[in-house]
Structures are given as C-alpha cells and as structure tokens.
Structure 1
Amino acid sequence: MSNFEISHPQIHLNQAEASPLESQMGNFTVQIWGVRGLIATPSSDTRRYGGNTTCVEMFVAGKRLIFDGGTGLRNLGKSLRNHNKLEAHLFFTNSQSNRIQGFPFFAPAFIPENHLYIYGTAASNSASIKQCLYDQMLQPHFPYPLQVMQSELKFNHFNPGQVININDDVIVTTALINQNQKSIGYRVNWQDYSVAYLTDLSKESDAHSESIAKGILELTQGVDLLISNATYIELTPRKDKDFDFHWETALNLANNSGVKKLVLSQHHPDDDDDFLDDVQVKIQSVFAKAELAHEGLIIKIDKG
C-alpha cells in the first residue's frame, strides 16, 4: 500500500470567523450538509431530512475535510464566507453528477486567498477528477469555466489503496468499494478516533470480489462512526417489504465490523420524511446506535 503526504502551513481562525461546526469545539466533529443520492429533492415532503445531494464535512484537529461535492456543498460554502485564508481538503468518492454538481457553486473556490486540496481517482471512463470538474463547467452545461475560480486549487490523483497523510496526524485511508461505479471509500484516523465514509455499498455487483470485500472491512473495522448508504437500484418508491433488501447491507456491515455508531445517508429521491421516520425506527431495532442522516446533523467523535 503506497502513501503520499500533503504539507502546508497551519491556518489559525479566530472565534469571530468560526463556522457552526467549529463552534462545537470538538477535536473531531462531523456535520452533514447533503443527504440525497441520485438527484436533489427539495420539497415540502423532504424538509426534515433535507433534499440536497451528498456532502459531509469533518473538522479534525483544526483541519477541514469535505467528502463529496453534491448540492449540499453550496450551503457549506456559504457558512464559510467570513473565513480568511481558508484551507480545505475535498475528497470525492466518484465523479457522478450527484457527487460533483455543487462544486461550481462552492463560494470559497472563488476567493484568491483560499487554498483547496482536491482528491479523487479515475472515473469509469478513466477521466481524472480534475477533468470531470472541468468538463461540467464547460458550455453549454455551465456559463463559466473552472478557470474563473481564483483560489489555489491543487488536484491530487490517487489510486485506490493509497493512504493520504495530512500533516502527519490526520490519516485518510482509501479503498475501492464499488467496481461498477469506480467508487472510493474513505477512513479518517486521528489519534484513537476514526470515521469511515462509504456511500456506494452494493449488495450484488461486488458480492464475489474478495479484494473489494477486504477493503471495505479494513476501512470500517472498529470505527467510531460509519457513514453509509442504503443499496437501492431501481427508481421506484420503497415499500415495507423491501426494507431488508435496501438496508441490510449497511446494517450487517456495521454489526460485523464492530462499528460504534452508524449514520445512513444517500436517501433515495422518493423517500419522503414520513417514510424515513419509519425506517429510523426499524433500523434502530436492528442496530441501536444507528440513525438516519439529516441536513444539519452534527456528531462529535469521542469515546463516551
């Protein structure tokens, strides 16, 4: 397993500049900014859980890590508007639209004093994360090219299995978790704390892949928090009879890996608030320390 290190100056923020996440004063804190898979679903039926596509922020030992850039990334960017010389690390699980569509609206990317480190692996067509982000901002898809972003953008291509060291104390481990989607899972370690972010678990397509199964287990073994997905495939509403099919993969993984807490995200576009309320009750009957992600959810990672 190969490694690479990212070295950069420390950024010191005063309290007046603190975002909601920083104000929690935790050494390792997670906030959910987007919870949907496939497509954003703003409506009166999704107000409680949220309708933005996936985006998760982690504030770890003074460092800001962002996982996926769905439409939730826009609101995250708005919360950072008062920062000076912002530094952030953006990790993409894949290059599908629901993972990158918020990037053109990430306000900090347009501020010259900011520094953004962007990580991704090759897409299913072999395009790099830089190329995928660049292409979605070309005419006729978007009115302004990526070059209008004035912050310092540093793109880092990696191969699945590489380990990324951020100033030595925050360690990000990667693995391929879905062959069809070319999706990456991440594990963030700092001191004795750990969070895994795996939002493309598949029930069937990788069932016979020993290497993928091993990578998933390595990322999730004993973590304090696992952020995962339900495994849906068809674009139709779920019924009660489908509960086990769509949720058992993540629940079984959490049980088998000794996960301390499980948060299920990437909600299907057809899953309204009432449906998700019912799911919340059912998953907690199987895994007591489980809950469904909702926008604004903040989780402190500790041993309590």
Structure 2
Amino acid sequence: MPSILGEDFTVKFWGVRGLIPTPTSNTRRYGGNTACVEMYVAGQSLIFDGGTGLRILGKNWQELHKNLEAHLFFTNSQSNRIQGFPFFAPAFMAENCFHIYGNAASNGASIKQCLCDQMLQPHFPYPLQVMQSDLQFYNLTPGKEIELKDVTVQTALINKAQRSIGYRINWNKYSVAYVTDLHQTIDAEDKERILHIIKDVDLLIANATYTPPTANNHECAEFLWEIPVQLSHTANVKRLVISHHHPDDHDEFLDHIQEQVKSAFHNTILASEGMTLAVNK
C-alpha cells in the first residue's frame, strides 16, 4: 500500500483548483494545484483525477521508499484533470504498478490516448513510453462497477456534454461520492444518474462555481453553489465538500463563501490542499 493516512477510510486533497493552476499569494491557504484527491480505503490507494496536485502526491509517495500499486480514476480528459500525469514521478519507476481508468473523450479517444497525446512533442519532451512502471489501462463504460477486493467503485455519466464520469466508492457500510462536473443547469436525465450515485453517502465531493463565468465580479455568486447543496439535501448526503475552486477566487472570498454555504447546508466545508478527512468516524 503506497500511503498510510491513519484510518481505514480517509480522503486527502492534493489539488482543489479548477481550470488552471493558481500559485499566487492570495491562494496559499486553499491551494493553487488542480484536481487530485487520494482515497485510502481498506489498505488500497485510489486516486481521483490527475491535475497538478498529482505531482505533489507523487513526491510524497517517493519518500515512502517502497514499491507502489494504486488505482487512478479520471473523471474526464480535459487538461485540468490530466496535466499532472507527465510529472507523476512514481510512474517512471519500474517497480511500481498503476491501474488507470477513464471514459472515452468526446472525440472518441481513450484515456490512454489522451494521456499519450499530451506527452508528445512539442507539448512534452518525453513520450508516455518512457514511464517504466506497469501501467494498466481500463476503458470505462458509465454504469460499470469495479471490484477492488472489498471495495466497490460505481460509475455514472453525470455530464453528457463533457462525457464526465462520477464515482461512488463503497466499503463496508461507508461511501464517498466524487462528482465534480456539475453544471449550472442539470437536465432530468443527468440529475437522475447523479442522485442515484450520491444517495445517502457519508461524504460528497462536488464542484461549485462561485464566480459568474462571464463577469469579473462575484455578483449573484450564491446562486451558483446552490446546485450541490440542493442535491445534497435531496439525496440525504451526510457531509458535503466543495472543491475545484475558480482560479479568480482568493482565500478571503472562499472564506466568505464557506460561511454562506454552511448556512444552507450545515455540514459543508470547502476543500483545501492537504486537508484530510476520516470517513469511518
């Protein structure tokens, strides 16, 4: 097992920013790396998304000085979900093994093809084939379940436009949902699949937009985080974590938003880099 977080089922956030890395003095507390979440459950490490936070996770794992095996799940193949993969140092070590899962992109490309393409010249100096670890790729069909010993990973297509997958991780009587491509408006078909995968979970990790995408201010920002709050109420979610913060949203503004969201759903927290949560407590 590559990481010991101290509990049977824990979640650690290595990257919580959306769209693009934002390493500024105003984002130090919440963090500027793009999406990467590690779940340590029943002796196994599961990684969700490979944004620039994956590089930091990889550096941490190298300090363990042991052979590594882990499962890496991608929600989609957009740049902010895969851009850390070329810098994931453990993938260059021959003694390691990584199982990589992803849905076909909107152009039909597999997750392996998408990861390969971003490592071709002129984008990156070394091709994926330079990685010496055992990389095993799995093409996911939304709705499929993956059995990892005592852990079950459910999948669902939660955003048709982006071909994005949501995940539900079940172990023992505990569950976590990772659903990070919620749109400002959700059609009935997508909503049904989302509610199915998040129903009664102990922890829901979701995205929310705080900044109107066509404006340079925070007017009406509260209306843009209502979607995950409404879904949490409807699905009887026990705890909500909002991640994928907009690059323009600085620490003080996120503090303000956290207070606003907690007034609507009390057991809510905004994700920050390095934050670790115990699910089975």
SS in 2 for 1:269: coil
Match for 1:173 among 147, 154, 170?
154
Q: Partners of 1:171 and 1:31 in 2: how far apart?
A: 19
- Whether 2:279 is the aligned partner of 1:296: answer no
Residue in structure 2 matched with residue 51 of structure 1 by the alignment: 32
Match for 1:95 among 77, 95, 108?
77
Matching residue's letter, 1:88: A
Match for 1:229 among 207, 221, 226?
207
SS in 2 for 1:80: helix
Give the share of equivalent positions with the same residue, in percent: 59
The alpha-carbon deviation at position 237 of structure 1 amounts to 4.1
Matching residue's letter, 1:215: R
Q: Partners of 2:135 and 2:216 in 1: how far apart?
A: 40
Residues 76 and 50 of structure 1: is their aligned pair in 2 closer, same or farther, counting only changes over 3 Å? same
8 Å Cα contact 2:12-2:37 kept in structure 1: yes
Matching residue's letter, 2:36: C
Matching residue's letter, 1:130: K
Q: Partners of 1:105 and 1:266 in 2: how far apart?
A: 20
Matching residue's letter, 1:164: I
Name the Cα RMSD after superposition. 1.3
The alpha-carbon deviation at position 162 of structure 1 amounts to 0.5
Q: Partners of 2:242 and 2:217 in 1: how far apart?
A: 16
Which of 81-90 and 291-300 deviates more?
81-90
SS in 1 for 2:205: strand
Q: Partners of 2:239 and 2:110 in 1: how far apart?
A: 33
- Whether 2:201 is the aligned partner of 1:201: answer no
8 Å Cα contact 2:199-2:235 kept in structure 1: yes
8 Å Cα contact 1:33-1:54 kept in structure 2: yes
8 Å Cα contact 1:237-1:271 kept in structure 2: no
Q: Partners of 2:199 and 2:216 in 1: how far apart?
A: 32
Residues 246 and 298 of structure 1: is their aligned pair in 2 closer, same or farther, counting only changes over 3 Å? same
Unaligned runs of 5+ in 1: 1-10, 14-18
Residue in structure 1 matched with residue 121 of structure 2 by the alignment: 139
The alpha-carbon deviation at position 235 of structure 1 amounts to 5.5
- Whether 2:238 is the aligned partner of 1:260: answer yes
Residues 227 and 62 of structure 1: is their aligned pair in 2 closer, same or farther, counting only changes over 3 Å? same
The alpha-carbon deviation at position 55 of structure 1 amounts to 0.3
- Whether 2:251 is the aligned partner of 1:270: answer no
Moved over 6 A (4+): none
8 Å Cα contact 1:236-1:270 kept in structure 2: no
The alpha-carbon deviation at position 238 of structure 1 amounts to 4.3
Q: Partners of 1:175 and 1:202 in 2: how far apart?
A: 15
8 Å Cα contact 2:222-2:260 kept in structure 1: no
Unaligned runs of 5+ in 2: none
Calculate the TM-score normalised by the size of structure 2.
0.96
Matching residue's letter, 2:83: Q
Match for 1:153 among 131, 135, 140?
135
Aligned length: 279
